[in-house]
Every structure is written in C-alpha cells, then in structure tokens.
Amino acid sequence: MNTMGGGWTAIQKRVDGSVTFDRNWADYKNGFGSPEQNVWIGNDVIHKLTKDNPSSLYVSITLQNGTTLYEIYNRFSVSDEAGKYQLFLAGPVNGILGDSMLNTGDSMLDTGYPNNYDLSGMSFSTPDRDNDRWGGVNCAARSDRRGGWWFNICHLAFLNGQWSPASWSYPWYPTVQSGTLVKETTMMVRRH
C-alpha cells in the first residue's frame, strides 16, 4: 500500500515457480494461486475493477540482484469475456523499466503487420484459446512461451511465462531479456 501513494490492487504476482501460469482459459477467467505468493486474480475480476473507472497499471520486476524496476501506464482496462478480455492500454507511460507493452514498434520481426508487438487492443490468449494476431500460431501454446497473456505477434512483454529460467524468453524486452534475471513480478491497478 506504500507504492506510489498506495491504493493499488495486485492482479498478478510471482515470486517463484511453485504455481504454474501455464493454465487454460477457465483458470485465467476465474483466477488462481495465493495472493501472498503467486497469483492471477482472474480476468473477470480485472474487468470488474477497470470497466467503469479510469485506472492505471503498475508493472514491476525485481531482479535477482534486488533491483526493482517499474513502469506505469496511465490508462488500463480489460473487456469482459464476450470481448475476449481485450486489453486497452494508453499513456502517458513513465518509469525505469521501459515500455514493452504499448509503444514497442516493429523492430524485431518483419511480419508485414504494423506494430506487431503493441499489446493495446489485443485479446487474451491461453494455450486452449488462440486470440493473437499470428495466423496459424498460438503464441500462448508455444513451448518457449506457454501461459496466458495479451499476445500480438507474439510479445516483447510476457510476465506469465514459464518460471523455468531457460524457457522464459523476453519477460520485458529489452530491459529483461531472460527469466534468469527475474526474482519477482507484480502487476497492480489503481482507479484514478
């Protein structure tokens, strides 16, 4: 409650690999884990928290060396299940983690799609529900990604990746390129 003036609600937290985030649509819809350790609060709850009031998103990654990096997105909301939990994200953006969800451009992969890593407007995907923009490939089911997220083609930010460090690529590119660097992740929302 002391972060940036308090009033935040944690929607995601990971401190170790004791709870897998390689889950199906129903698990991400309803939520799983324990708030004290590893948790996804549930897409239905995230929608209810953000649907009627402008909200901000706070993302932090604590590195193995104890350094905590954060980024704040000024506008954040998620649609309901009928809308496939579509992500709405906008700036201004500030922090020391860097923006890997919104203004990522098209620098790593020339797919012919504009802004193929920007996550605003993306629907939520899980290994059993392919809602990303990469035709024929389910980003959430790939062996190097497995887990639910708002994938585009596919991601530069993915905090729900496999906790196994060798398998967790690009938790937050370019600042955190490997899961081997991650000690803890947190996502929190706060109404304006």
Over residues 97-121, the pLDDT tens digits come to: 999 998 755 444 444 445 678 899 9
CB contact set of 18 (below 8 Å; sequence gap of 6+): 37, 38
Mean pLDDT for 172-192 is 94
Per-residue pLDDT reduced to its tens digit, 13-36: 999 989 999 999 999 999 999 998
Strands 176-178 vs 39-40: parallel, antiparallel or unpaired? unpaired
pLDDT at 146: 87
How far apart, in whole angstroms, are the C-alpha atoms of residue 54 and residue 59? Answer: 17
DSSP state of 15: S
Structure tokens at 11: 């929607």
**Chain centroid offset of residue 131 CA:** 15
Could you tell me the domains of the chain?
A: 3-191 (3.90.215.10)
pLDDT greater than 90 at residue 167: no
| Stronger pLDDT, 109 or 186, i.e. the higher one | 186
Sole residue written with tokens 């897409």: 43
Quote the Cα angle for 97-125-146, to 5°. 75
Strands 169-172 and 39-40: unpaired
Closest CA to 76 of 64, 62, 93, 60: 93
